[in-house]
Structure 1
Amino acid sequence: MTNPQQDAGDGRAARWRGQREKRRSEFVERALVAIAEEGPDVSVATMAVYAEVARTRIYRHFEDSTDLRNAVARRVAAMMLLEYAPVITTDGAPRAILTRAARTHLDWVTEHANLYRYLMSFSPAAEEVRRAITTAVADMLRPYLDALGTPAAATPLANALIGMVESVALDWIERPGGTDVGALTEQLAAWAWALVDTTMRGRGVVLDPDLPLPAPGDLRT
């Protein structure tokens, strides 16, 4: 037999959790606006101004400033992953695939430069998004390297590709007035292709960067 008082208490607890999560999400969204407009070093007090609440109200929904900042960083990471997911694919020719991926990253960091700087300053969240993207790229590469008998090379190659693009892009947004986005996209795609091509040639496979990728089982050594 159910206990009406317990059911009522459980219902109130569930509603409070739902309301708390909703408010946390609202605060995070306003914090994103504050960071985008004020810069990656924006204070919690300024975030509260953008959320139109007293700073103390924020701590009713977050344990402390670290909890808030981590929640914001993870929201930025989720935004990046949502944007990048469609371009991590083997559909098309290698050069086109790499160009599309590089341009997606550069466009995102250009449009959201302060959010990207903020994310990169939070090592747990930055590492999470880096690991997620690297895993997706490694999963894309692995069937090809598996067909050549070296599946273990997928993760190191993915790390090399992601690390290169990430470090170049971060330096690029800190040096305005340098290489334009189109030229840098072509350079990154060319460097990325050089890594992939060297890896494949080392296993006896030569691919044309401008022809559609063959299926892994159709590779010829």
Structure 2
Amino acid sequence: MNILHAESSAPSGPFDGPAAVDGRAARWQSHREERRHDLIKSARRAVHALGSDASMEDIAAAAGTSKSVFYRYFGDKAGLQQAVGDVVLSQMQRRIREAAQGAQTPREGLLAMVSAYLQMAETSPNVYTFVTRYPPGDPDIGQGSMATAGALGHFFDSIADMIARPMRAHLGQGTGKETIIGYWPTAAIGLVRNAGEQWLGSPESPTKPDHETMARQITDWLCVGIAPELDTSGRP
């Protein structure tokens, strides 16, 4: 028998060939994803405890590992913020969607969404701040990085679409109404976010409203304006 032929036709061992390589690669990829997920959870807990300005070194120490490990998985602090932001904002989006599902009217839906947004932000202001902005000149952030731009942009685009749909159905179709619906969600998101973040950053005091009161106030601003009694135009 030709030895070369015999060797080439012999059955492969359990660890030989492309299938074995693919299996090892799949297991390694699974390990990396699991490790990355654990680091994101650790970073989130660290920021919650230490504050939104926590450095990569502080976060790594709290996670029981080295800063180089975080750099290996996320590139820089902006990359870590993006990763944590993807998780946090996805959870907020899901909670807001669930809150709006049981609403009977567009106004009730708005109130439910605003309330869910404020409540989740209030649960951990440090984490919310960490994933929505970063201080300029942070040495842990690489040149030209845009922290959480993708996650944050996608989050608010999705929320704008969510609040537009019931209002579009409520107002119906007609001349000029498409333009109103086109601009209003963006303006609404700006109001909700800016008012909510100012409320979130305000120190605790007897006069500071709780999240439910603030949610109702923001919803009133969105639906009827700040002082409808001042409207003397005579329009309904």
Q: Identify the match of residue 43 of structure 1 among 55, 61, 71.
A: 55
Offset of 1:29 from its aligned partner?
A: 0.5
Q: Which runs of 5+ in 1 are unaligned?
A: 199-205, 207-221
Matching residue's letter, 2:220: A
- Residues 54 and 143 (structure 1), Cα distance of their counterparts in 2 relative to 1, 3 Å cut: same
Gaps of 5+ in 2: 1-8, 134-146, 229-235
2-structure distance, mates of 1:136, 1:12: 42
One-letter amino acid matched to 1:191: W
- From 182, 201, 217, the counterpart of 1:187: 217
Q: Are residues 1:104 and 2:116 paired?
A: yes
For residues 16-36 of structure 1, what are the alpha-carbon distances to aligned partners after superposition, in whole Å with 9 as ceiling and x for unaligned?
111111100100001011111
Q: Say which one has the larger Rg.
A: 2
Match of 2:36 among 24, 30, 34: 24
Deviations 1:158-184 (A, max 9, x none): 112221111101011111224312432
Opposite residue 109 of structure 1, the aligned amino acid is A
Aligned equivalent of 2:73: 61
Question: Of 184, 188, 200, which residue of structure 2 is paired with 1:157?
Answer: 184
The 2-side partners of 1:137 and 1:98 are apart by: 7
**Count of residue pairs brought into register by the alignment:** 197
Q: Tell me what 1:131 maps to.
A: 157
- Separation in 2 of the partners of 1:41 and 1:10? 41
Distance 1:66 1:100 in 2: 31
Contact 1:143 1:151 in 2 (8 A): no
The whole-number CA distance in structure 2 between the counterparts of 1:158 and 1:115 is 25
Q: Which residue of 2 aligns with 1:168?
A: 195
Structure 1 residue 44: deviation in Å? 1.1
Counterparts of 1:59 and 1:190 in 2: how far apart (Å)? 45
2:92 to 80, 101, 123: 80
Name the residue aligned to 1:201.
Answer: none
Shift of 1:87: 2.5
Which SS does the other structure have where 1:31 is aligned? helix
Deviation at 1:52, TM superposition (A): 1.2
Question: Displacement of 1:9 after TM fit?
Answer: 0.9
8 Å Cα contact 1:98-1:193 kept in structure 2: no
- Do 2:44 and 2:84's aligned partners in 1 also have CA atoms closer than 8 Å? yes
Question: How many angstroms does 1:110 deviate by?
Answer: 1.4
- 1:39-94 CA-partner distances (Å, limit 9, x unpaired): 11111111112221122233343334332221112222112112111123483134
1:25 alignment partner, SS class:
helix
The one-letter amino acid paired with 1:43 is: S
| Structure 1 equivalent of residue 26 of structure 2 | 14
Kindly, what percent of the aligned residue pairs are identical?
24
Q: Equivalent residue of 1:147, what SS?
A: coil
State the match for 1:34 in structure 2.
46
Amino acid at match of 2:60: A
Structure-1 residue corresponding to 2:5: none
Q: 1:95 to 1:140 in 2, by over 3 A?
A: closer
| Higher relative contact order structure (alpha carbons within 8 Å, sequence separation ≥ 6) | 1
SS in 2 for 1:41: coil
